[in-house]
């Protein structure tokens, strides 16, 4: 039984890491209705930039600040060059633009910092916590717990930002209807610039944690694939949904891999979450916490 | 037209002009080598050092006058480790010289499979050093394919013998009653040694636990929890790219001792261990031979190539690293095959057919390696028509937290068992393709190079 709980807890903590990536998607979708295909590339770019600045001998807090400034610049440039000319265009056009942005950001990251893997050492050990191992015979990583705590703080800050600040209210208005928001004087471009910068910040936190575990490397672009079922399950517009979706996806995929995988030859954790997400699509298309869309006929 | 639109128009026009610019054609008196490289994308991290080492060696050879006076030239084509791009690159570079690229090293098992038939039709040798289609060691059916040095199967078998020796025993049979977990990349590359591992487990009465890791393997919590559940005596780790550092971190996370983890030689480079930090200390991996800046040929590259500003590696700290040294070996084998062919056909540019003969009569022993400044960098290798592998041996190295250290002599796996399995696979392929086997006894005895397999 202890092993079952170990897998469950490990899955929940892995799910938090997926949630961090999913949050970036949610932010942009909330503000612009755009599914930002480039979020995985942004995680990679942010991680590589952070690691690259550290490699120049800059202390971690300053490197984080420097990488954040770069992510703001990327967010603002994306709004100016890619999104602004496409205001009021169909959503599919904006989606296609983010596909193009993906390849550009991946290439830019490699031109700027090289394709080599860079190590990120945050000083947090990815080792079992001895007390839990000794007393409960369960492996729980101190790194995973720290990542979960960081994700929790991030979600709380984002929720407060959306709910209680003027910019947050403007963001929600823009998400609801671009033209209506413009008509009451909300500067759409300004809001988009802010939201892309916030998504850049979230990408930086996700990239920093994923990079600390695996190194800042190209494969981080694939973490976006882990976030997709999280979004389908949690809903594209809910910050809380991203967290709950991550927890459900993380835990079920690990339990499935460990307990069902051996019966079917293993290697099922990549597709199992998608099967689960498809099932949710059938019964609740807007996701667990997504907004139900009703059209007046 | 706005200023931004004008700028974009200029940029687009410049790009179009650049794309339309004629590609540089190889000189007719150069031995042109096609390089299907990958320096960006998911495996770019590994490709940078490997192709850097290879080009560094070719620059060294050119600096010393070429191969018997014949200069080497080359062009890289970026595959991003993608099969479709690999085929496209092969076709593109094939037309760059009359020799159709001399020989092709796909540096990817997937691209190797995609190019098998094409290279046979074009009579361009397909060289796969430590990867690729392994049943091609049977030159009777695969005249133009060379899985050189050591196949995955021989390596896996040698790993078992190494594990037995590490436990103070002698032979794989001494593993009786042990439990070995095989954590592998769930792809053709990762599945290649399963058959031989299962056969060895049956023969030697140890338990084999197979744990696949889905591509790209950046999240391995579940797999390593299974390792913890099974409590194996050793883990054979068969990864590539991002999977390697993630696996080492995950092993640390569940507290599995890295000293009991034995990696394939594509999991044993600085690119795998450095990002894993302290999590990699003690980890063991297979390799071709010694590496490092103290190897004479590496020293010569530093002095001659980097000294004259022609070095390929931007990050010179990686010169002499595992993958850079492997790139140098790719260069050595390429050049020695050309040299062997020249000894028979004359000191000029060699064709694909002549290189095929050179490869099939390739002999690189420690004496020759010492002359090249590369003693100990690879096992003695003697290729024949019936043995396109040439060696079948492997050594082991251990990561001490900062560098790799050699910890074993060359170890050979169960040749009889592996050959039996690979011969059966080659025969099955030949039956499907209706290939008449060559008479290797005649070829090895010195029959003309044209005695290649033909379709019925």
Q: How far apart are CA B105 and CA A252, in angstroms?
A: 42
The predicted structure's pLDDT at residue B1: 45
Asked if the B31-150+292-382+422-444 domain carries CATH number 3.20.20.140, the reply is no
Residues 179-198 of B with CB under 8 A from A: 186
Lookup: tokens for B304? 């001659």
Determine the distance in angstroms separating the CA of A261 from the nearest CA of chain B, rounded to an integer: 9
CATH 3.40.50.2300 in chain B, residues?
31-150+292-382+422-444, 152-287+396-413
Question: pLDDT tens-digit profile of B139-155?
Answer: 999 999 999 999 999 99
Interchain pair A119, B277: CB under 8 A: yes
Q: How far apart are CA B38 and CA A243, in angstroms?
A: 37
Model confidence at B340: pLDDT above 90 = yes
Q: How far apart are CA B329 and CA B327, in angstroms?
A: 5
Nearest CA in chain B to A127: B253
The predicted structure's pLDDT at residue B453: 47
The predicted structure's pLDDT at residue B333: 97
Alpha helices (runs of H) in chain A, residue ranges in sequence order: 2-32, 39-55, 60-77, 91-113, 130-136, 142-164, 166-176, 178-183, 188-214, 223-234, 239-255, 272-283
The predicted structure's pLDDT at residue A215: 87
Average pLDDT, chain B: 90
Sort strands B381-382 and B363-364 into parallel, antiparallel or unpaired.
antiparallel
Contact at 8 Å (CB) between A247 and A8? no
Question: What are the phi and psi torsion angles at A105 (to 5°)?
Answer: -65, -40
Percent of chain B's residues with pLDDT above 70:
91
The predicted structure's pLDDT at residue B452: 44
Question: Which whole number is the average pLDDT over B111-137?
Answer: 94
The predicted structure's pLDDT at residue B409: 95
Model confidence at B304: pLDDT above 80 = yes
Question: pLDDT tens-digit profile of A108-156?
Answer: 999 999 888 898 999 888 888 889 888 888 889 889 899 889 988 988 8
User: Which residues of A fall within a CB distance of 8 Å from B40?
Assistant: 107, 110, 115, 218
User: Which residues of B fall within a CB distance of 8 Å from A220?
Assistant: 218
Q: How far apart are CA A44 and CA A23, in angstroms?
A: 15
Determine the distance in angstroms separating the CA of A225 from the nearest CA of chain B, rounded to an integer: 11
Residue B275 contacts A, CB cutoff 8 Å? yes
User: Which residues of B fall within a CB distance of 8 Å from A258?
Assistant: 222, 225-226, 229
Question: Which whole number is the average pLDDT over B122-132?
Answer: 94
Asked if the B152-287+396-413 domain carries CATH number 3.90.1150.10, the reply is no
The predicted structure's pLDDT at residue B454: 45
Model confidence at A217: pLDDT above 50 = yes
Residue B218 contacts A, CB cutoff 8 Å? yes
Contact at 8 Å (CB) between B285 and B268? yes
Model confidence at B99: pLDDT above 50 = yes
The predicted structure's pLDDT at residue B448: 55
Question: Which whole number is the average pLDDT over B360-385?
Answer: 97
Cα–Cα distances in Å, from B294 out to A6, B306, B370, B375? 47, 15, 13, 11
**Which of A13-17, B331-335, B340-344 comes out lowest in average pLDDT?**
A13-17
Q: How far apart are CA B250 and CA A213, in angstroms?
A: 9
Question: pLDDT tens-digit profile of B25-82?
Answer: 456 689 999 999 999 888 888 999 999 999 999 999 999 999 999 999 999 999 999 9
Q: For chain A, which residues make up each domain, given as ranges?
A: 2-219
Residue B275: which of A128, A214, A266 has the nearest Cβ?
A214
Contact at 8 Å (CB) between B404 and B288? no
User: Which residues of B fall within a CB distance of 8 Å from A209?
Assistant: none
Question: What are the phi and psi torsion angles at B254 (to 5°)?
Answer: -95, 5
**DSSP 8-state assignment for residue B129:** S
User: Which residues of A fall within a CB distance of 8 Å from B37?
Assistant: none
Among B102, B96, B104, which residue's Cα sits nearest to residue B24? B96
Residue A267: which of B214, B228, B241 has the nearest Cβ?
B214
User: Which residues of B fall within a CB distance of 8 Å from A117?
Assistant: 45, 245, 271, 274-275
Determine the distance in angstroms separating the CA of B238 from the nearest CA of chain A, rounded to an integer: 14
* DSSP for B60-122, written as a single string: HHHHTTSBTTBPEEEEEEE-TT-HHHHHHHHHHHHTTSTTTTSSB---SHHHHHHHHHHHHHH
Determine the distance in angstroms separating the CA of A141 from the nearest CA of chain B, rounded to an integer: 6
User: Which residues of A fall within a CB distance of 8 Å from B216?
Assistant: 219, 222
CA B151 to chain centre: 9
Preferred mutation among B221, B247, B274 to probe A, highest tally of A CBs within 10 A: B221
The predicted structure's pLDDT at residue B22: 41
Determine the distance in angstroms separating the CA of B255 from the nearest CA of chain A, rounded to an integer: 7
Preferred mutation among A257, A272, A275 to probe B, highest tally of B CBs within 10 A: A257
The predicted structure's pLDDT at residue A34: 84
Top mean-pLDDT range of A253-262, B164-173, B328-337, B438-447: B328-337
Q: How far apart are CA B383 and CA B378, in angstroms?
A: 14
Model confidence at B18: pLDDT above 50 = no
Output the CA angle B12-B15-B17, nearest 5 degrees.
Answer: 110
Question: pLDDT tens-digit profile of B400-409?
Answer: 999 999 999 9
User: Which residues of B fall within a CB distance of 8 Å from A118?
Assistant: 275
Question: pLDDT tens-digit profile of B207-264?
Answer: 999 999 988 888 898 999 999 999 999 999 999 988 999 999 999 989 999 999 999 9
Contact at 8 Å (CB) between A21 and A224? yes
Model confidence at B415: pLDDT above 60 = yes
The pTM (predicted TM-score) of the whole model is 0.88
Among A22, A31, A14, which residue's Cα sits nearest to residue A162? A31
The predicted structure's pLDDT at residue B160: 97
Question: pLDDT tens-digit profile of B234-244?
Answer: 999 999 988 99
CA B430 to chain centre: 24
Confidence band of B112 (pLDDT split at 50, 70, 90): very high
Question: What are the phi and psi torsion angles at B384 (to 5°)?
Answer: -135, 175
CA atoms within 13 A on the CB side of B283: 34
Contact at 8 Å (CB) between B333 and B127? yes
Question: What are the phi and psi torsion angles at A216 (to 5°)?
Answer: -80, 105
Q: Under DSSP, is residue B392 helix (H, G, I), strand (E, B) or coil?
A: coil
Nearest CA in chain B to A211: B275
Contact at 8 Å (CB) between B330 and B50? yes
Residue A213: which of B45, B228, B249 has the nearest Cβ?
B249
Q: How far apart are CA A185 and CA B353, in angstroms?
A: 75
Determine the distance in angstroms separating the CA of A221 from the nearest CA of chain B, rounded to an integer: 9
CA B185 to chain centre: 16
Phi-psi region of A47 (alpha: psi -120 to 50; beta: other; left: phi over 0): alpha
Size of chain B in residues: 456
Contact at 8 Å (CB) between B216 and A222? yes
Alpha helices (runs of H) in A33-59, residue ranges in sequence order: 39-55
Tell me the sheet residues that pair with B285.
Answer: B263, B397
The predicted structure's pLDDT at residue A245: 92
Confidence band of B3 (pLDDT split at 50, 70, 90): low
Preferred mutation among B246, B253, B314, B321 to probe A, highest tally of A CBs within 10 A: B253
Contact at 8 Å (CB) between A50 and A120? yes
**DSSP 8-state assignment for residue B303:** I
Interchain pair B222, A119: CB under 8 A: no
Nearest CA in chain B to A119: B275
Preferred mutation among B43, B82, B222, B256 to probe A, highest tally of A CBs within 10 A: B222
Residue B42 contacts A, CB cutoff 8 Å? yes
Question: How buried is A292 (Cβ within 10 angstroms: 0-12 exposed, 13-18 middle, 19+ buried)?
Answer: exposed
The predicted structure's pLDDT at residue B387: 95
Determine the distance in angstroms separating the CA of B315 from the nearest CA of chain A, rounded to an integer: 10
Cα torsion A152, A156, A157, A159 to 10°: value is 130
The predicted structure's pLDDT at residue B172: 82
Residue B282 contacts A, CB cutoff 8 Å? no
Expressed in angstroms, the distance from the first to the final Cα of chain A is 54
Confidence band of A283 (pLDDT split at 50, 70, 90): confident
Among B112, B154, B146, B104, which residue's Cα sits nearest to residue B129? B146
Average pLDDT, chain A: 89
Q: How many CB contacts within 8 angstroms connect chain A with chain B? A: 125
Model confidence at A254: pLDDT above 90 = yes
The predicted structure's pLDDT at residue B230: 94
Q: Under DSSP, is residue A267 helix (H, G, I), strand (E, B) or coil?
A: coil
Output the CA angle B30-B34-B39, nearest 5 degrees.
Answer: 130
Nearest CA in chain B to A143: B253
Q: How far apart are CA A154 and CA A149, in angstroms?
A: 9
Model confidence at B16: pLDDT above 80 = no
User: Which residues of A fall within a CB distance of 8 Å from B254?
Assistant: 128, 139
Cα–Cα distances in Å, from A146 out to A11, A43, A152? 15, 19, 10
Determine the distance in angstroms separating the CA of A166 from the nearest CA of chain B, rounded to an integer: 33
Contact at 8 Å (CB) between B335 and B58? yes
Sort strands B284-287 and B261-263 into parallel, antiparallel or unpaired.
parallel
The predicted structure's pLDDT at residue B456: 41
The predicted structure's pLDDT at residue A297: 66
The predicted structure's pLDDT at residue A179: 78
In this prediction, the answer to ipTM > 0.90 reads no
Model confidence at B23: pLDDT above 60 = no
Determine the distance in angstroms separating the CA of A297 from the nearest CA of chain B, rounded to an integer: 41
């Amino acid at each position: 039984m202890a092993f079952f709980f170990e897998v469950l807890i490990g899955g929940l903590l892995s799910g938090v890491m997926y949630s961090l990536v999913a949050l970036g998607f949610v932010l942009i979708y909330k503000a612009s209705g755009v599914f930002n295909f480039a979020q995985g590339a942004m995680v990679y770019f942010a991680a590589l930039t952070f690691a690259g600045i550290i490699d120049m001998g800059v202390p971690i807090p300053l490197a984080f600040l420097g990488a954040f400034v770069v992510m703001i610049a990327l967010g603002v440039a994306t709004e100016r060059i890619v999104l602004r000319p496409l205001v009021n265009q169909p959503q599919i056009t904006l989606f296609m633009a983010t596909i193009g942005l993906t390849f550009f950001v991946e290439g830019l990251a490699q031109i700027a910092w090289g394709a080599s893997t860079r190590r990120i050492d945050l000083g947090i050990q990815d080792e079992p916590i001895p007390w839990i191992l000794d007393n409960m015979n369960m492996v729980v990583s101190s790194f995973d717990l720290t990542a979960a705590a960081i994700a929790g703080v991030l979600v709380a800050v984002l929720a407060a930002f959306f709910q209680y600040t003027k910019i947050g209210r403007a963001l929600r208005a823009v998400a609801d209807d671009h033209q209506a928001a413009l008509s009451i004087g909300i500067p759409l471009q300004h809001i988009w610039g802010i939201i892309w910068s916030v998504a850049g910040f979230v990408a930086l936190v996700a990239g920093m944690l994923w990079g600390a575990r695996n190194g800042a490397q190209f494969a981080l672009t694939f973490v976006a694939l882990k976030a997709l079922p999280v979004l389908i399950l949690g809903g594209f517009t809910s910050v809380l949904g991203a967290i709950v979706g991550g927890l459900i996806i993380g835990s079920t995929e690990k339990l499935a891999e460990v307990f069902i995988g051996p019966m079917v030859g293993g290697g099922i954790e990549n597709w199992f979450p998608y099967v689960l997400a498809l099932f949710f699509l059938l019964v609740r298309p807007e996701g667990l916490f997504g907004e139900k869309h009703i059209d007046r006929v | 037209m706005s200023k931004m639109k004008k700028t974009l128009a200029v940029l687009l026009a410049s790009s179009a002009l650049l794309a339309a610019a004629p590609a540089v054609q190889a000189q007719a008196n150069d031995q042109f080598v096609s390089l299907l490289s990958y320096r960006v994308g998911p495996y770019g991290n590994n490709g940078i050092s490997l192709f850097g080492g290879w080009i560094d060696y070719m620059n060294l050879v050119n600096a010393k006058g070429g191969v018997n006076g014949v200069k080497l030239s080359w062009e890289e084509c970026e595959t991003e480790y993608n099969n479709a791009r690999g085929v496209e690159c092969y076709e593109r570079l094939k037309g760059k010289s009359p020799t159709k690229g001399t020989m092709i090293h796909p540096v990817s098992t997937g691209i190797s499979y995609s190019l098998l038939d094409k290279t046979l039709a074009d009579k361009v040798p397909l060289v796969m050093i430590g990867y690729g289609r392994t049943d091609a060691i049977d030159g009777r059916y695969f005249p133009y394919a060379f899985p050189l040095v050591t196949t995955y199967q021989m390596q896996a078998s040698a790993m078992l013998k190494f594990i037995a020796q590490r436990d103070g025993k002698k032979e794989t049979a001494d593993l009786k009653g042990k439990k070995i977990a095989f954590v592998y990349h769930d792809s053709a590359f990762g599945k290649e040694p399963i058959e031989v591992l299962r056969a060895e487990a049956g023969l030697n009465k140890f338990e084999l636990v197979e744990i696949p890791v889905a591509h790209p393997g950046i999240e391995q919590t579940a797999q390593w929890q299974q390792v913890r559940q099974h409590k194996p005596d050793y883990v054979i780790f068969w990864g590539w790219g991002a999977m390697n550092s993630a696996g080492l971190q995950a092993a640390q996370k569940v507290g599995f001792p890295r000293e009991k983890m034995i990696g394939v030689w594509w999991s044993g480079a600085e690119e795998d261990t450095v990002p894993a930090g302290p999590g990699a200390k003690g980890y063991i991996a297979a390799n071709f031979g010694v590496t490092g800046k103290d190897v004479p040929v590496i020293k010569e590259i530093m002095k001659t190539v980097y000294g004259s500003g022609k070095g390929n590696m931007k990050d010179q700290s990686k010169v002499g690293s595992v993958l850079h040294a492997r790139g140098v070996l790719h260069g050595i084998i390429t050049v020695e095959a050309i040299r062997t062919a020249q000894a028979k056909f004359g000191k000029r540019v060699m064709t694909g057919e002549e290189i095929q003969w050179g490869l099939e009569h390739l002999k690189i022993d420690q004496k020759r390696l010492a002359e090249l400044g590369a003693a100990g960098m690879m096992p003695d290798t003697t290729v024949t028509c019936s043995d396109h592998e040439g060696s079948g041996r492997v050594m082991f190295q251990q990561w001490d937290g900062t560098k790799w250290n050699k910890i074993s002599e060359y170890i050979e796996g169960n040749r009889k068992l592996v050959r039996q399995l690979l011969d059966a696979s080659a025969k099955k392929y030949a039956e499907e393709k209706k290939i008449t086997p060559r008479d290797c006894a005649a070829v090895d005895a010195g029959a003309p190079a044209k005695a290649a397999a033909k379709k019925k």
